[in-house]
Structure 1
Amino acid sequence: MTYFLSLLPAIWPWFILIAAQTGAVSGRRGLGLTLLAMLGCIALALGLVTPLAVGIACFGLLGAAGLRHLSGPAALAGHLALILWCLALGAHLVPGFHNLLVLDQVQAGPDSAAFTMYLNLDKPLVLFAVLLAWPGMIQGAKPTKAAPLSVGLLMLPALFLLGLATGAVRPEIGLPTWWLVFALSNLFLTCLTEEAFFRGYLQSIITSKTGATIGIAAASLLFGLAHAGGGPALVVFASVLGAACGLGYYATGRLWVPVLIHFGFNALHLILFTYPGPV
């Protein structure tokens, strides 16, 4: 907690971002976009973003909002352009975003590998864009299908067992001093953004064209491939996690379910095992 409090003078704009995200996924799109615009002005004034970054962000968001009015080849081209825009933001390829370094080569425990973490301003914009392009992702709540949800949840301990068997993780119980800033960043800036894109957007679109089985499988594989920078093993692990999240979304129609499955897995990984992996 002390470390988190020491960061507050620098990280307070991200609380506006989190409030904007929460409003948007709760169905209060106007509130979410208003808070996002407020954040943009503050970030510009503080030098966290440049006018070029703001321009690229506005262009993408406006384009996403217009996709609902397109059909046929124009809609296909628009969605492909949106996906590329989202991937560029997620990979931090768009110039002008000065993401804040909050963890620099830290270790979760003595046997864990060192890693670095930023509070991002670019990647979370993906959430707002896909919500504008595919608002039905938060309007599809339905009676829970117990069987697929149970299978999805059971895949999480199975994934940890696979990680132990392959040496990808080792047991290491503990809670680092920086856990709170990690939790906020991971829940909102990572899990919520990624689940909105891969499950709420991609899985929903593919499912609407091909059915749930292909939709879940395709979105899970794409989620795994998005982690290809970590090597083939990480692609497999991420694909399995993606399938668990996909089943959770399919079973309930509620976006927060795969978000919490994703975050719960990451939190247990941090608390019970070497994170992100052994030294």
Structure 2
Amino acid sequence: MHLNFDQPMVMLMVYCMSDLSTLEKNNNLSCQQLIKYTIVPYICSIPFIFIPGYLSGLILFDPCLTNILWIWIMHNFFLVCLTEEVLFRGCLQRAIQNGLTRYGVHNGLWAVILASFLFGIVHFKGGLIYMGLAAIAGFLYGYAYYKTGKVVCAMMVHFAVNLLHFLLFTYPMAMAK
């Protein structure tokens, strides 16, 4: 864990200077719908990320509460989830969707799939299985953004998945023996 503030500050400036913050305020979804489209992708992470990760040996069941939990929470939410979701959902997924719409593709799920694929690719240091699971996770985060139009919903799903991973499994993955 590195407390590196340069990338999150750039993404926070991008978020504030773009129309993302304005778009997020103009949404006709009810609070109940926002909660639904945030919780459902999170729940889907269990069968689609954690079970395959465990069965592949990439992660091991290792529940623990550490003394660094609070600093990890602050670091992960503000320096990881904020940065990645503004970049991949707020900028990239939205740009892909706008580009596809110009070419007559009006199904936003294609943008979710393409942004998720790219999200998986940037996690290449973890190997192929890790990239695949990151792409699936990226799809869940992207789906939350697609359904709500709010980066903060994608951030919440991302953070909840990472927190469950941190509290119950080896993080970020099992060490090679």
8 A contact 1:152–1:248 mirrored in 2: yes
1:122 aligns with 2:6: yes
Instruction: Write 1 or 2 for the structure with the bigger share of strand.
Output: 1
CA contact (8 A) 1:123 1:193 kept: yes
Please show how residues 28-177 of structure 1 align to structure 2 within 5 Å.
117-131=1-15, 134-136=18-20, 139-140=23-24, 141-143=27-29, 144=33, 152-158=41-47, 159-177=49-67
Cα distance change, pair 248–264 in 1 and its aligned pair in 2 (3 A): same
Q: Could you tell me which residue of structure 2 aligns to residue 251 of structure 1?
A: 147
CA–CA distance in structure 2, aligned partners of residues 174 and 149 of structure 1: 25
Higher Cα radius of gyration: 1
Paired residue total:
163
RMSD over equivalenced CA pairs, Å: 2.1
Structure 1 residues 278, 138: CA separation in 2 closer, same or farther (over 3 Å shift)? farther
Structure 1-normalised TM-score? 0.54
Structure 2 residues not aligned, in runs of 5+: 101-105
Deviation at 1:147, TM superposition (A): 8.1
Instruction: Point out which structure has higher relative CO (alpha carbons under 8 A, 6+ apart).
Output: 2
Match of 1:118, SS state, is coil
Given that residues 144 and 154 in structure 2 are in contact (C-alpha distance below 8 angstroms), is that contact kept between their aligned partners in structure 1?
yes
The answer to whether the 8 A contact 1:155-1:241 is kept is: no
Change (3 A) 1:257 1:147: closer
Q: Check 1:129–1:168 CA distance in 2 against 1; reply closer, same or farther (3 A cut).
A: same
- 1:137/1:201 contact within 8 Å kept: no
Q: 2-side partners of 1:170 and 1:182: how far apart?
A: 19
Residue 163 of structure 1: how far off its partner (Å):
0.8
Contact 2:93–2:111 under 8 Å retained in 1: yes
Aligned match for 1:269, one of 165, 170, 174: 165
Q: Which runs of 5+ in 1 are unaligned?
A: 1-116
Greater shift after overlay, 166-175 or 138-147?
A: 138-147
Q: Deviation digits for residues 115-172 of structure 1, max 9, x if unmatched? A: xx11112211331343256323651434248986565234311111111111111111
Matched, 1:241 2:130: no
